[in-house]
């Protein structure tokens, strides 16, 4: 093949490649433009939520929550209007979060704080499907306190303190009432509420420690046997200083879960010198 024919063939190949490049460019460019148009169209058809609309919806939801609690417990409640959906957004049920959570307390007992979960029909439907709360923890805590007191009757002569915590996200079914039994609490709930019971004493006798462990173990086993959903951790501490024991503030230990600044007003038990002697755990998930 002579030089002229080679140049001709090369020229044809170059033209073909240029045409292919142009076609590809048109396809890619068109696709990009198409998706940009769709993207902008999606934004243009999404209704904008104004601050006034968000505020109105929050007020309406708060009123529904108040009426629900007042009807359920027959008393007045104060609800913190700064609810959270877990993502920090002021728009309810946004960013894929499924509930809005409020902090609340009864007017006659501001030292007992609890949470209220508002569950929508779906992420796309803001209508309220269910309202759950943890106010009944106040009564379950009292029942567990009494059970432990009866179990240890005569062993300590009152020389111990109990702090009971409920996992911060736990709520109870609406059929659970203040007068429900311990068995009802742990059978009526759809999931195991994690409960932590910390016992503090200044008594160092080994026999007392062993006896306490045996009695509490029997109590927890009985609760587990009667329950469908329960998760309890019991920890037994001996305080190294008597003054620390008497300084334990059970009320503030509860409030610190809801108010970070409460630490400045007292000495937290977590900062005191103590020794963990034994720990017992029950979980119906092990059944």
Expressed as residue numbers, the domain containing 39 is 1-46
Specify whether 55 is located in the same domain as 42.
Answer: no
- Same domain? 152 vs 232: yes
- Tally of structural domains, the chain: 3
The verdict on 2 and 41 lying in the same domain is yes
The last residue of a domain, from among 133, 166, 195: 133
Helix axes 137-151, 206-225, angle to 10 degrees: 130
Q: Are 190 and 226 in contact (CB under 8 A)?
A: no
Query: Is 123 found in the same domain as 193?
Result: no
pLDDT the model gives residue 253: 85
Q: Summarize pLDDT for 200-228 with one digit per residue, the tens.
A: 999 999 999 999 999 999 999 999 998 88
Q: Where would I find the H helices in 152-226? A: 182-188, 206-225
* Three-class SS state of 274: strand
pLDDT digits (tens, 9 = 90+) for 241-275: 999 999 999 888 888 777 767 767 788 898 899 99
pLDDT value, residue 189? 57
Higher pLDDT, 15 or 234: 234
Single residue among 109, 133, 157 that ends a domain in this structure: 133
Task: Answer for the pair 84, 101: CB distance below 8 angstroms, yes or no.
Answer: yes
Identify the domain boundary among 133, 157, 179. Answer: 133
pLDDT of residue 96: 43
- Say what the pLDDT of residue 46 is: 47
Write the pLDDT tens digit of every residue in 133-189.
999 999 999 999 999 999 998 887 668 999 999 987 888 888 888 999 988 888 865
Same domain, 159 and 245: yes
Of 217 and 287, more confident: 217
- Yes or no: say if 89 and 51 are a contact pair by the CB < 8 Å rule: no
Q: Report the pLDDT averaged over residues 23-29.
A: 52
Tens-digit pLDDT profile for residues 47-58: 555 767 666 677
Q: Do 260 and 237 fall into the same domain?
A: yes
Task: Quick: pLDDT tens for 103-125.
Answer: 999 999 998 999 999 888 777 77
């Amino acid at each position: 093949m002579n030089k002229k024919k080679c140049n001709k063939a090369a020229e044809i190949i170059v033209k073909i490649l240029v045409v292919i490049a142009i076609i590809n460019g048109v396809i890619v460019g068109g696709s990009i433009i198409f998706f940009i148009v769709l993207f902008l169209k999606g934004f243009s058809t999404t209704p904008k939520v104004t601050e006034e609309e968000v505020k109105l919806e929050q007020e309406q939801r708060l009123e529904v929550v108040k009426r629900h609690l007042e009807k359920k417990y027959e008393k007045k409640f104060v609800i913190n209007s700064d609810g959270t959906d877990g993502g920090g957004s002021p728009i309810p049920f946004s960013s894929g979060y499924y509930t809005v959570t409020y902090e609340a307390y009864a007017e006659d007992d501001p030292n007992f704080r609890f949470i209220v979960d508002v569950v929508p029909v779906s992420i796309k439907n803001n209508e309220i499907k269910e309202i759950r709360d943890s106010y009944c923890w106040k009564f379950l805590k009292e029942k567990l306190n009494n059970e432990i007191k009866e179990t240890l009757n005569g062993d300590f002569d009152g020389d111990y303190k109990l702090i009971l915590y409920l996992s911060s996200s736990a709520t109870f079914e609406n059929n659970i009432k203040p007068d429900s039994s311990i068995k009802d609490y742990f059978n009526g709930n759809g999931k195991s509420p994690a409960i932590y019971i910390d016992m503090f004493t200044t008594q160092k006798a080994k026999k007392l420690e062993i006896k306490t462990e045996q009695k509490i173990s029997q109590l927890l086993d009985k609760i587990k046997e009667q329950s469908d959903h329960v998760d309890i951790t019991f920890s037994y501490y001996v305080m190294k200083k008597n003054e620390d024991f008497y300084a334990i503030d059970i009320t503030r230990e509860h409030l610190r879960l809801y108010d970070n600044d409460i630490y400045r007003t007292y000495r937290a038990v977590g900062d005191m010198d103590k020794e963990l002697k034994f720990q017992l755990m029950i979980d119906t998930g092990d059944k």
